[in-house]
């Protein structure tokens, strides 16, 4: 089987959105984290495409996809793509921001979703409370507003190891990849531009509506409140469970791809 590497384009109502479409079988959609693009899944795409059809979009404003020029919702973009492809229902696998897109979509478009996997995410109302993450978030916001790309990247890559390690403890190839992808997305934007994203509200209050299987799959070195929020989400839905990959932080799919892929494959085989 050949894994496609060339992106296709979906002409949305507000610009072209890029996506990878490869493999065949039951559909799995991979939703990347913020500031990067679909290539953050490079260890998962060929493994999954051996048995599944895999769609890996670049979220609006990221990678090859158009920036927003009007209000939009992530769930609407994803639903538009799946309907354009006459595809689904799909298993949505989301990392960080992608996890929020997955939970938003299953709440707003349940008919398009077969199951959900969230990584480094809970629901849209979750806010980090630990001092380390708040410092990282404040530093990213400040340097982004100042147009200080190097300063912003310095804060951004610290998310990879998490609060219990330093960047020297992480494979430097992973840091280089995350940095490269983030640079590509940041180059599409200007400091102070309008954020057109419209959030889906009351997502945790509505979580009990989720009627499909849901797996939270997180790195064990995530902040404790993140792990607790993921466990609450798994306990709230009708068919939820939580798994932890030990010894890794916010990007378990990059740091321990074999373990991540095995857990994901085992979950898919239960559907």
The band of 107, judged by pLDDT with boundaries at 50, 70 and 90, is very high
Distances (CA, A) of 216 to 26, 33, 179, 203: 20, 15, 25, 16
How much is the average pLDDT of 199-211?
A: 95
The band of 12, judged by pLDDT with boundaries at 50, 70 and 90, is very high
Least confident range of 127-131, 209-213, 228-232:
127-131
Q: Where are the domains of the chain?
A: 8-127+194-269, 131-186
pLDDT of residue 6: 84
Q: Which residues contact 262 (CB under 8 A, 6 or more apart)?
A: none
Query: Mind listing the pLDDT tens digit for each residue in 168-185?
Result: 999 999 999 999 999 999
Mean per-residue pLDDT of the chain? 95
Domain 8-127+194-269, CATH: 3.40.50.1820
- How are the residues of the chain apportioned to helix, strand and coil, as percentages rounded to the nearest 5? 40, 20, 40
Query: Mind listing the pLDDT tens digit for each residue in 117-144?
Result: 999 998 888 888 889 999 999 999 999 8
Is the model's pLDDT at 5 over the cut of 80? Answer: no
How much is the average pLDDT of 19-40?
A: 97
């Amino acid at each position: 089987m050949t894994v496609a590497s060339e992106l296709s384009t979906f002409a949305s109502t507000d610009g072209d959105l890029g996506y990878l479409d490869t493999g065949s079988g039951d559909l799995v959609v991979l939703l990347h984290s913020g500031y990067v693009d679909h290539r953050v899944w490079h260890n998962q795409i060929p493994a999954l495409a051996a048995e599944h059809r895999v769609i890996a979009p670049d979220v609006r404003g990221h990678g090859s996809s158009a920036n927003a020029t009007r209000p939009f919702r992530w769930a609407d973009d994803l639903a538009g793509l799946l309907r354009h492809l006459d595809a689904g229902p799909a298993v949505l696998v989301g990392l960080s921001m992608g996890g929020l897109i997955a939970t938003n979509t299953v709440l707003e478009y349940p008919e398009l979703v077969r199951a959900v996997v969230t990584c480094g995410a809970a629901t849209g109302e979750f806010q980090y409370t630990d001092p380390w993450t708040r410092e990282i978030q404040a530093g990213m916001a400040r340097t982004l507003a100042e147009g200080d790309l190097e300063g912003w990247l310095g804060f951004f890559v610290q998310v990879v190891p998490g609060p219990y390690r330093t960047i020297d403890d992480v494979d430097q190839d992973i840091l280089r990849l995350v940095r490269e992808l983030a640079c590509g997305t940041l180059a599409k934007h200007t400091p102070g531009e309008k954020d057109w994203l419209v959030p889906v509200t009351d997502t945790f209050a509505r979580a009990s509506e989720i009627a499909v299987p849901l797996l939270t799959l997180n790195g064990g070195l995530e902040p404790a409140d993140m792990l607790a929020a993921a466990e609450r989400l798994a306990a709230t839905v009708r068919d939820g469970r939580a798994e932890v990959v030990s010894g890794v932080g916010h990007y378990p799919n990059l740091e321990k791809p074999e373990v991540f892929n095995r857990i994901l494959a085992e979950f898919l085989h239960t559907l």
